[in-house]
């Protein structure tokens, strides 16, 4: 009976380690709203997929884990409020080194967006 319990505990530890590694290794998009406004939606378009965040309340930080992209190109983003695009931009997206990559997009107080790749 002790061997069965030990095996189950060992399996649970392995699953927990695998899930933890997934969150550390997987590429992710992080949106931070440093403004005092609430926005309806923040859309990020990657070369072969896209993600949408919303609503974004003041002072919040949202993270979405993304799949690895099969091709390079541009990452485009847009910030929307009441169906209108308030800010938009793009940056190059390279397929090399996607593991551990963090795409950080920050909504500034004036409604502009700052983008960087860590």
Asked if pLDDT for residue 118 goes beyond 80, the answer is no
Task: Give SS3 for 96.
Answer: coil
CATH node for 27-117: 2.60.40.2890
Q: Is 47 a residue whose pLDDT tops 70?
A: yes
Compute φ and ψ for 5, nearest 5 degrees.
Answer: -65, -45
Can you give the residue ranges of every domain in the chain? 27-117
**Cα dihedral angle (88, 32, 92, 112), rounded to 10 degrees?**
30
Question: Distances from the Cα of 40 to the Cαs of 5, 14, 31, 107, 108, in angstroms?
Answer: 49, 39, 13, 13, 15
Q: What are phi and psi of 107, to 5 degrees?
A: -85, 115
What pLDDT score was predicted for residue 68?
64
């Amino acid at each position: 009976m002790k061997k069965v319990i030990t095996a189950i505990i060992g399996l649970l530890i392995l699953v927990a380690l695998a899930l933890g590694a997934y969150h550390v290794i997987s590429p992710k998009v992080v949106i931070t709203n440093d403004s005092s406004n609430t926005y309806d939606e923040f859309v990020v378009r990657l070369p072969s997929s896209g993600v949408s965040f919303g609503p974004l309340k003041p002072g919040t930080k949202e993270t979405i884990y993304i799949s690895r992209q099969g091709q390079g190109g541009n990452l485009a983003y847009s910030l929307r409020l009441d169906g209108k695009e308030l800010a938009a931009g793009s940056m190059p997206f390279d397929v090399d080194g996607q593991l551990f990559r963090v795409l950080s997009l920050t909504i500034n107080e004036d409604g502009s967006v700052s983008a960087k790749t860590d």
